[in-house]
């Protein structure tokens, strides 16, 4: 059964690779077949080794097969001389230290505070048991923090990220204070 599961996964991943980037008439059909083979491989792995071991093993096998395909299709191009890069647009001369300082404050402590306050509210609002809501909220912090940092760093005008992050902090804190008197 283990060989059958592995064969199904290999066939599914290879079918995905063969349909990738090709202009086939029945591309949707081939993609459905590939994903079906991968799912059958997962089911067979789960039935053979148990769900606790089989599903992670199937996931790991899919990732390793994909990595092998990427490495096998790696193409090396000849070394080129580095070209000189030119700036797309020069930053305005009016932006000085205060602009960099504000961006640093937005991307650092304010983004972290916004992410933490939203996740604290999330932990408070999710239904019991408490450990599930704490874990979900705790795992959401890096995602929200990275999103807030990306927004603060990539924005042309700092007004919008500053307003959005301050609103997130304020609304989360207000809702937390309002919910603190009630039981979950």
- Classify residue 9 as exposed, middle or buried by CB count within 10 Å of its CB (0-12, 13-18, 19+): buried
Residue bearing the bigger pLDDT, 152 or 89:
152
Residue 63 shares a structural domain with residue 115: no
Direct distance between the N- and C-terminal alpha carbons of the chain, in angstroms, rounded to an integer = 47
Structural domains in the chain (count): 2
The answer as to whether 184 is a domain residue is no
The answer as to whether 10 is a domain residue is yes
Provide the whole-model pTM. 0.47
Diameter over CA atoms, the chain: 69
The answer as to whether 91 is a domain residue is no
Q: Which residue has the tokens 């999103």?
A: 147
The answer as to whether 80 is a domain residue is no
Residue 47 shares a structural domain with residue 120: no
Number of Cα atoms under 13 Å in the Cβ half of residue 66: 10
Cα–Cα distance, 176 to 128 (Å, whole number): 17
Residue 169 shares a structural domain with residue 108: yes
Domain of 54?
2-72
Residue 118 shares a structural domain with residue 60: no
Q: Is the pLDDT of residue 90 over 60?
A: no
Model confidence pLDDT, tens digit, residues 24-37:
777 888 889 999 99
């Amino acid at each position: 059964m283990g060989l059958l599961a592995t064969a199904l996964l290999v066939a599914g991943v290879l079918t995905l690779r063969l349909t990738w980037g090709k202009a086939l008439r029945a591309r949707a059909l081939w993609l459905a077949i590939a994903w079906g083979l991968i799912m059958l491989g997962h089911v067979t792995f789960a039935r053979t080794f148990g769900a606790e071991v089989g599903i992670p093993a199937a996931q790991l096998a899919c990732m390793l097969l994909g990595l092998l395909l990427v490495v096998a299709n790696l193409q090396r191009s000849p070394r080129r001389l580095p070209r000189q890069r030119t700036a797309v647009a020069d930053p305005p001369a009016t932006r000085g230290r205060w602009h960099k300082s504000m961006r640093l404050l937005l991307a650092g402590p304010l983004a972290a505070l916004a992410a933490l306050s939203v996740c604290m509210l999330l932990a408070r609002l999710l239904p019991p048991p408490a450990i599930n809501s704490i874990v979900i909220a705790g795992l959401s912090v890096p995602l929200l923090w990275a999103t807030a940092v990306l927004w603060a760093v990539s924005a042309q005008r700092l007004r919008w990220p500053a307003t959005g992050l301050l609103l997130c902090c304020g609304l989360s804190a207000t809702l937390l204070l309002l919910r603190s008197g009630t039981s979950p």
